[in-house]
Chain A
Amino acid sequence: MGRIIGALLFILTILSVVFVVMNYWPPPEAVNGMGHAIDAQFARTMVVVGVAFILAQVALGYILFRFGAGKKGERAAYSHGNNRLEVVWTIVTAVVFVTLGVMAQKVWAELHLSAIPADAITYEVTAQQFVWKFHHAGPDGKVGKLNMDLWKDPDSFGVDDRDPDAKDDIVSATMVVPVNRPVRVVLRSKDVIHSFFVPAFRLKQDAVPGMTITIHFTADKIGEYDLTCAELCGMFHYNMKSKVIVKSEQDYQKWVADMAGNH
């Protein structure tokens, strides 16, 4: 039986390595700086964790092969442990794990703790059960003041026509952004918690009712990317989807001009 389990562990190890290396089911290709950085950190972690995984499973499998019961009357080695080994082991794992943790903080700090570039465009994003709406400043570059009282119309996302800045604002069901320009996303929710998740950006942030949360991203490739809700928000959570459409600067400007005042 030891040999069977040992063999199973070897097969497990080989298959795990094959599936991770072959990457048959990749995520959408990362199309922003943060996405690339997270992929790189993921890859580094995978190497460290992979080595630990292989060493542990193979060692366990080897032990099961080698240290079976043997002949009757034979005794096992008598030992209560080895303190020096314990210390070495403890220090090595502590250093490796904490180093990984520290390395991961760089991306985090860039997302949350550093200033958003001044040339960023702004989107006010409002979530409600099972819809995303994207509120853009329009050609004047000024986002109209949000009037939450208007939320009593379930279809309104709070754009107040009495505010002159809001006249040319755009509200759309997808998020159109220019390539290579920072985008500030101001997240709100009307009802329950939702989560703004764009797999191609490796980016996720909850939208919490009663709170205003700001994040940012810079997409570096033109295309259409799925956006979905990652926090359980009710029966149709699985279908609360939209798209981020990344356009060339020119096409983006054209879109803004065409859509001005459409809200």
Chain B
Amino acid sequence: MSDTHAEGAVHHHQPPSGFIRKYIFSIDHKVIGIQYWCLALFAVTFGMLLSLMMRLKLAWPNAKWTMLGTLFPNGFQDGVMKPEFYLSLLTIHGTMMVFFVLTTAPQGGFGNYFLPIQIGADDMAFPRLNMMSFWVTFVGLVFMVASFFVGGPIGGWTGYAPLSSAGVVTGPGQGLGVDLWIISIAIFCIASLLGALNFITTTLNMRVKGMSLMRMPLTCWAWFTTAILSLLSFPVLLGAGLLLLLDRNAGTSFFTPSIWVTGVLQKHQGGSPILWQHLFWFFGHPEVYIAILPGMGLASQVLSTFARKPIFGYRAMAYAILAIGLLGFFVWGHHMFISGMNPSTGLVFSLITLTIGVPSAIKTFNWLGTLWGAKIRFQSPMLFAVGFVSLFVSGGLGGIFLGQTSIDLFLHDTYFVVGHFHLIMGVAAIFGMFAGTYYWFPKMFGKMMNEGLAKVHFTITFIGVYCIFLPMHLLGMAGQPRRYAQFTELPYLQHLEPLNLFLSIAAIVTISAQLIFFVNLAYSLLKGPKAADNPWESTTLEWSVPSPPPFDNFGGKIPVVYHGPYEYSVPGAAEDFIMQTSPETVPASGH
């Protein structure tokens, strides 16, 4: 580093020296990215263990689990899981996964770490705000975990009023846990808002010379669009959550009508349970895209890199991300076809919902176009990116059934829905995160992950998630309702028992296989071979700096960008990739 740079001409902040400023209350976007990623890793483990207990109950409804009974004395009676405990598992599993994993890891984790580097910035636009976003999220997580242990809420992650608003009269699991749960979500909303402002400003203002919007990696387009969705949808949930809290604790009637519980009138006036659903889903549907868009951006990045080909239809890909984001705001009513909402509006919501299939199909088509004629390198990130495409197709197509008003009359609130959203916003998004972890781990920690373990991990997980979530569609087609603590009571469900058992076994195997991932993480951190600057021969800016990058990302230099992000296999070029920062010329148009 030259003397001029040492004077701070480029950095607007200096690297901190103390442990706390460096690793705990850090304003370095890279440290914050890793903090988010670790938080999500904790949350996903927690949420996964809850789902494991759920599958135990569903496969063996009357079995005695003495050890679990000792751990959760209130949740078990003589070793048999109580139905309300099952429902609290379900609620916390859903909320934990949606907020603290699917929203946190791809955006807060990878986005924080790599958005600034990929656009050539030395940090986020507001580093202190960034630090605050993380720590606010952390407080939210503490509340969420606490709510589970004080007798968790049992209303599902959607928390429909008046079950969520009427309080303890409506049964167990309606007490303090619900208040903590709502507070946790409200805190999370604030954190996401702060993060979203930061992402948008950073993308618009901090791009380095030559990095036009249409030269941004598709990951940046995805993070940028996701941030806009967060900015517009989280405030609505925040408002709704606060009103719900008032209904519960201050005697207001926003979502709660007069109701009679065990002969006692709970007096309210003017409250509408349907209003809660509108507000919740106005947030809830964009949230689905908040979870999946970063995965789509990352899949594009990884597919192009490991196919050694430019992305097929870059502009179409960027516009499709924006189109999905925009349409995502006009379809929330498809969650409410059977709610009692005006049925005429159902017609409109249904048609807009089906048009979302169009940009999704464009993405799939372009991914296949990218791979056509490729020279594919089957390394760990690529395996998960390919898995993402397959899962995205399988999960997305379920939406074509559910988006139709009349088919939803039958499939609504059945396992078809559970299978559908788990495939697309659950495991497809998780595969995006795995791809991101295997792809960026060398950059983040300076060590390579073990390819052999990664291949085993991928193979078992890929087969496993299909064995869990495709049969769920069959259960739904047979009419099995979701959110049932057991399926023992209804005659028409009895022939589904073997399928439910199979699902549980597949879930146990798949969850166990994640140990391979954790072993790989730990082993690679300690003993992994040192990573080169650009181990995958990628083109984007993060691969032009050391692994891990220095505090200011570019070591005092300001990069200049000459190319779009995916110049692979350019005819006549010296190597089969041209980095964005390379002044080497590229044929004017690749068409």
- Residue in contact with B376 in the complex, picked from A2, A90, A111, A192, CB distance below 8 Å: A2
Residues 84-108 of chain A: 1 if any B CB is under 8 Å from the residue's CB, otherwise 0?
0110011001100110111011111
Which of B314, B343, B366 is in CB contact (< 8 Å) with A112? Answer: B343
Flag whether B479 is at the interface (Cβ < 8 A): yes
B351 contacts A98, C-beta separation under 8 Å: yes
With A204-B410, A238-B485 known as contacts, the answer to whether A1 contacts B383 (CB < 8 A) is: yes
Q: Is B412 an interface residue (CB 8 A)?
A: yes
Query: Is A195's CB within 8 Å of the partner chain B?
Result: yes
Chain A residues 37 to 94 lying within 8 A of chain B, measured CB to CB, are: 37-38, 41-42, 45-46, 48-49, 52-53, 56-57, 59-60, 63-64, 67-70, 74-83, 85-86, 89-90, 93-94
A230 CB to closest chain B CB (Å) equals 4
Stretch at the interface among A148-156, A164-172, A174-182: A148-156
Question: Which of chain A's residues have a CB closer than 8 A to the CB of B412?
Answer: 204, 230
Residue contact A192 to B170, C-beta cutoff 8 Å: yes
B83 touches A238 (CB 8 A): yes
Q: Which candidate, B3-11, B124-132, B201-209, B399-407, is the interface stretch facing chain A?
A: B399-407
- Is A41 touching B407 in the complex (CB atoms < 8 A)? yes
Binding stretch for chain B, among A133-141, A206-214, A245-253: A206-214
CA separation between A85 and B393, bound complex, in Å?
A: 19
Tell whether A45 pairs with B378 under 8 Å between CB atoms, given A206-B339, A232-B483, A233-B163.
no
Write out the residue numbers on chain A whose beta carbons fall within 8 Å of the beta carbon of B87. 232, 235, 237
In the complex, whether A173 has a CB less than 8 A from a CB of chain B is: no
Interface members, chain B 374-427 (any A CB < 8 Å): 374-378, 383, 386-387, 389-390, 393-394, 397, 400-401, 403-407, 409-410, 412-414
Contact: B374 with A67, CB < 8 Å?
Answer: yes
What residues make up the interface of B, taking CB atoms closer than 8 Å to A?
82-84, 87, 154-156, 160, 162-163, 166, 170-173, 257-265, 271-274, 307-314, 316, 338-340, 343-344, 346-347, 350-351, 353-355, 357-358, 361-362, 364-366, 368-369, 371-378, 383, 386-387, 389-390, 393-394, 397, 400-401, 403-407, 409-410, 412-414, 455, 459, 462-463, 466, 470-471, 474-475, 477-479, 481, 483-487, 489-492, 495-496, 499, 568-571, 576, 589-591
Number of A-B pairs whose CB atoms are under 8 Å? 349
23 sample A-B contacts, Cβ–Cβ < 8 Å, listed by A number:
A27-B410, A60-B390, A69-B377, A79-B310, A80-B311, A80-B589, A82-B369, A90-B362, A94-B358, A97-B354, A101-B404, A104-B406, A108-B406, A112-B343, A151-B260, A151-B265, A192-B170, A195-B338, A199-B410, A202-B409, A210-B257, A232-B160, A238-B484
Question: Which residue of chain A has the shortest Cβ distance to B83 in the bound complex?
Answer: A235
Determine the chain B residues whose CB is within 8 A of the CB of A79 once the complex forms.
Answer: 309-310, 312, 373, 590-591
Q: Output the least CB separation between A9 and chain B (Å).
A: 6
Q: A93 and B358: CB pair below 8 A?
A: yes
A2 to B375, CA, bound (A): 11
Contact check, B376 vs A37: say whether CB atoms are below 8 A apart: no
Min distance, Cβ A139 to any Cβ of chain B, angstroms: 29
Question: CA separation between A37 and B310, bound complex, in Å?
Answer: 46
**Shortest Cβ gap from B570 to chain A (Å):** 6
Given A60-B386, A108-B406: A80 and B590 interface contact (C-beta under 8 Å): yes
Q: Which residue of A lies closest to B401 (CB)?
A: A45
A101 in complex: contacting residue of B354, B377, B389, B589, CB < 8 Å? B354
Chain A residues packing against B (C-beta within 8 Å): 1-2, 4-5, 8-9, 12, 16, 19, 24-28, 34, 37-38, 41-42, 45-46, 48-49, 52-53, 56-57, 59-60, 63-64, 67-70, 74-83, 85-86, 89-90, 93-94, 97-98, 100-102, 104-109, 111-113, 128-129, 148, 151-154, 189-193, 195, 197, 199-200, 202-206, 208-211, 213, 226, 228-239, 241
User: Which residue in A26, A77, A200, A230 is a CB contact (below 8 Å) of B481?
Assistant: A230
B362:A108 contact, CB within 8 angstroms: no
Q: What chain B residues lie within 8 Å of A241 (beta carbons)?
A: 489-490
B569 touches A80 (CB 8 A): no
**Are the C-beta atoms of B393 and A57 separated by less than 8 Å?**
yes
Contact A234:B171 (CB < 8 A) given known A45-B400, A191-B259, A197-B481: yes
Which of chain B's residues have a CB closer than 8 A to the CB of A68?
375-376, 378
A204 and B314 CA atoms in complex are apart in Å by 43
* A residues near B170, Cβ cutoff 8 Å: 129, 191-192, 234
Task: Check B308 against A75 for contact (C-beta < 8 Å).
Answer: yes
A38 to B338, CA, bound (A): 15
Are A25 and B475 interface neighbours, CB within 8 A? yes
Complex CA gap A190/B368 in Å reads: 53
Identify the closest chain B residue to A207 (Cβ): B340
Q: Which 6 A-B pairs have the closest CB atoms?
A: A210-B257, A77-B373, A112-B343, A104-B404, A81-B313, A80-B590
Do A190 and B404 have beta carbons less than 8 Å apart? no
| A53 x B397 contact (CB < 8 A) | yes
**Are the CB atoms of B407 and A76 closer together than 8 Å?**
no
Q: How far is the CB of B487 from chain A (nearest CB, A)?
A: 7
Task: Select from chain A the residue with minimum beta-carbon distance to B394.
Answer: A53
B362 A38 Cβ-Cβ under 8 A: no
Given contacts A77-B309, A80-B313, A199-B492, A52 and B274 within 8 Å (CB-CB): no
Of all chain A residues, which has the CB nearest B337? A108
Q: What B residues does A4 contact at CB under 8 A?
A: 459
Nearest opposing residue in chain A for B575, CB measure: A75
Q: B166 — which chain A residues lie within 8 A by C-beta? A: 191-192
Closest to B463 in A: A8
Say whether A74 contacts B375, CB under 8 Å.
Answer: yes
Contacts of A100 in B (CB 8 A): 354, 400, 404
**B406 contacts across to A, CB distance below 8 A:** 34, 37-38, 41, 104-108, 111
Q: A80-B313, A206-B338 are in contact. Are A101 and B350 (CB under 8 A)?
A: yes
- Do B272 and A210 touch across chains, with their CB atoms under 8 A apart? yes
A193–B499 CA distance with the chains assembled, in angstroms: 29
CB distance from B31 to the nearest CB of A (A): 34
B477 x A25 contact (CB < 8 A): yes
Q: How far is the CB of A256 from chain B (nearest CB, A)?
A: 26
Chain A contacts for B262, CB-based, 8 A: 154
- Taking a contact as CB atoms closer than 8 A, the residue among A45, A78, A206 that contacts B407 in the complex is A45
Residue contact A205 to B309, C-beta cutoff 8 Å:
no
Q: Is B373's CB under 8 angstroms from A204's CB? A: no
Residues A77 and B409 in contact in the complex (CB < 8 Å), given A89-B362, A98-B355: no
How far does the Cβ of A262 sit from chain B's closest Cβ, in whole Å?
22
Is A193 a contact of B357 with CB atoms below 8 Å? no
